[in-house]
Structure 1
């Protein structure tokens, strides 16, 4: 086996993680993938056999298609709700208190780390936290997204599962130009050998020992924590927004056909019959009237557009499916009991409640690992976040009306999701709501409204 080998669960989930990455990146990323998300029709394939100029048919088809930014919009709303939560942080030791303001490898505090974990869980349903120490012996968190955790193994020790191997992919600077951004891929391997932690860095065939040194003793456990949406086990779980992402991609494909049909309807194909060799056609008038030879005929070939309405109806159905998927994840109407949470785990249904809980537990576990590493007591170390989204309840009838209006484009999806999450209608003006609707339609939400000087105070 090689260090580049991947876990079977990683291989099975990678395609969905890539879909999520592209869905969140937006329309440009989706369109750059070409036929991956928008296949060519049989007619386009046959036309391209006639010459390279026919490739412009597909280019026009792809350009006219619209990719909806539902995933981005819902992600922003969910992170906005989570960012209002205030963690309870108890760090009894002065050696750990620095974490509150400086916990990550790039110098951010515990709350920022928590939000990053939540964001990764919403995007991919999975991430990992590595506990490491810098050259001064100060511990910190390093966050790895789902696509960077390539391989892992667990074994049973005394009836309990222990993580004894993790392979992490990293990108190192590989540019000789100080302004360049070329990188090379390296692999960080954490493994337990004879009950002691050993860390190595595999770089283009060379292997360097990177086992962290803090005192004379080596760690007897792997300081890596898996984070999930329903539990923090090493197994790959569900992706909360995958249903919405797939609905958005299907809507994108349908929109290509829809706007292609509208294009053909608006640009009928002209035809002329009865011309003889040498006959000439004169064009006059402002909008080009034809003067035909005697006994000639002309007209337009127009498509009937019978399927246009059905295509538009299916696009609306995909929008509705995406809205329901987002509402299921953002459901914050009630606190979960322990039994309810176990039932949710059995059903593998991730909500904002379970995501917040799992993210907080992962950060707390990391702090306890640091305390053990520093030979401190971890019993009083606390990092908890109560998933209390104002404990608001919403009117089911009003929520249903908002949902229907959002599908029809009468109110914005963001307004609907904010009402579901808070139980209150957002305090914005009619003009701002109109801007939200237009921004969602044009795919520019986050620029039109949120870059204004008189923007409302909404996360």
Structure 2
């Protein structure tokens, strides 16, 4: 069978991106992942020398290298800024189950969206599939990492570019005594004759070593009384936009410099070890003295006087320190700070709120795009889930915070806002939304509910003291 008709076919651009994704994920995981890769990220010293001595030298070279988790810390900092506020979920009561269990496995939509944004920062790509769990009689949202979205195809239908094929690689656990076996299967999402079809491909044969064949095939319906889906309920999430094309991972440049810093660290630590070893030397010895010292040995230390012949000398030789590797490390560190690794350098200088906000704008602009893309993709998937639940009204949303810097509202600002509202220059809804942005009012609360609560509040009388008539 031709490779093009094999469900395991992988698009060339996906195959080409795999090494980059692996590198970034290893760097984000930290020293254990980078060092366990051995010399994949660290060059070998004298690779033509296959002796045991050179092998041992390379092992020591790898062991002494220090990896600084700059990229991973930067990613954690970005996630912290994005989830500084709880995302806002606007969904019908039928989808309340997604709040605490979005994927049917106990992961809340809040936790799942954190993982999605993390994968976007690392790989620049993620996928969300709106599925229906027949066992639980409810819609679920399943996330797929970039590595598992192996094939896709779009087609122009009625003047619109539509997704007509997505192939997802899945790994399942099957019981094997008290252990388990990992099985690879493929899920095909296809649009055929205007209808969405879902197929699951598994290996055939007694030992599951044969070719892949269709094990399940379904034609999902939005709800019981409706016809088949006229689109594939799968949303791509990207670092730049949410189309099927691959985007550059946001942390790619930082990870590359981080690895360069790691290689400089290996050279620096090797140089420190080599230059730090002092070499004793003697001069003025004749053959008799040399043989005598070789026979009896030499003890070096303040309590072991060393007997030498006339005109004999003893001293230590030590190499001059090599600072080139250290300078290269410092240069890369400064460059990583410029790329946005704020967490590796604490600046104690006091800044005004305007200065801090303007400095963060450039550092978080890329994060803003990623957060907006995640929100947009979840909003699409949420409305698909609503259709599974029988609600095709649309308008539901899931929005992540894009206010990465806490806005400080002083008393003068609050007074000016309230004065503008009282004079009629600001509507009730605008007043509530402004206070929500300033964290004075909970951003998750519907502004209409706040306005209604204010209207229903009984009047407050001031200026009256106990005992007044």
TM-score (norm 2): 0.71
How many angstroms apart in 1 are the aligned matches of 2:115 and 2:228? 29
TM-score (norm 1): 0.73
Distance 1:52 1:175, change over 3 A: farther
- The Cα shift of 1:327 comes to 5.4
Query: What is the DSSP-based 3-state SS (H/G/I as helix, E as strand, rest coil) of the residue aligned with 2:161?
Result: strand
Tell me what 2:132 maps to. Answer: 133
Query: What is the DSSP-based 3-state SS (H/G/I as helix, E as strand, rest coil) of the residue aligned with 2:134?
Result: coil
- The Cα shift of 1:170 comes to 1.2
Deviations 1:164-200 (A, max 9, x none): 111111111145142x354222221111222222222
- The Cα shift of 1:105 comes to 3.0
How many angstroms apart in 2 are the aligned matches of 1:300 and 1:251? 33
Paired residues of 2:125 and 2:246 also in contact (CA < 8 A): yes
Distance 1:6 1:332, change over 3 A: farther
Q: Is residue 224 of structure 1 aligned with residue 234 of structure 2?
A: yes
Paired residues of 1:102 and 1:110 also in contact (CA < 8 A): yes
Tell me what 2:457 maps to. Answer: none
How many angstroms apart in 1 are the aligned matches of 2:190 and 2:281? 73
Paired residues of 1:133 and 1:212 also in contact (CA < 8 A): no
Tell me what 2:350 maps to. Answer: none
How many angstroms apart in 1 are the aligned matches of 2:229 and 2:185? 23
- The Cα shift of 1:272 comes to 7.6
**Aligned with 1:258 (options 257, 268, 276):** 268
Query: What is the DSSP-based 3-state SS (H/G/I as helix, E as strand, rest coil) of the residue aligned with 1:238?
Result: coil
User: Considering only CA atoms, is the larger Rg found in Structure 1 or Structure 2?
Assistant: 2
How many angstroms apart in 2 are the aligned matches of 1:291 and 1:184? 74
Q: Could you tell me which runs of 5 or more consecutive residues in structure 1 were left unpaired when the two chains were aligned.
A: 394-459
- The Cα shift of 1:201 comes to 1.9
Q: Is residue 211 of structure 1 aligned with residue 227 of structure 2?
A: no
Paired residues of 1:75 and 1:122 also in contact (CA < 8 A): yes
Q: State how 1:23-62 maps to structure 2 within 5 Å.
A: 23-42=27-46, 45-46=47-48, 48-49=49-50, 51-62=51-62
Tell me what 2:65 maps to. Answer: 65
**Aligned with 1:325 (options 335, 339, 350):** 339
CA RMSD of aligned residues (A): 3.3
How many angstroms apart in 2 are the aligned matches of 1:172 and 1:293? 79
Query: What is the DSSP-based 3-state SS (H/G/I as helix, E as strand, rest coil) of the residue aligned with 2:147?
Result: helix
Provide the aligned length of Structure 1 versus Structure 2: 374
How many angstroms apart in 2 are the aligned matches of 1:314 and 1:79? 29
Tell me what 2:112 maps to. Answer: 113
Paired residues of 1:123 and 1:239 also in contact (CA < 8 A): yes
Paired residues of 2:186 and 2:202 also in contact (CA < 8 A): yes
Q: State how 1:180-259 maps to structure 2 within 5 Å.
A: 180=179, 182-204=181-203, 205=211, 206-211=213-218, 213-214=220-221, 215=224, 217-259=227-269
- The Cα shift of 1:295 comes to 11
**Aligned with 2:330 (options 289, 303, 316):** 316
Query: What is the DSSP-based 3-state SS (H/G/I as helix, E as strand, rest coil) of the residue aligned with 1:380?
Result: coil
Query: What is the DSSP-based 3-state SS (H/G/I as helix, E as strand, rest coil) of the residue aligned with 1:383?
Result: strand
How many angstroms apart in 1 are the aligned matches of 2:299 and 2:310? 17
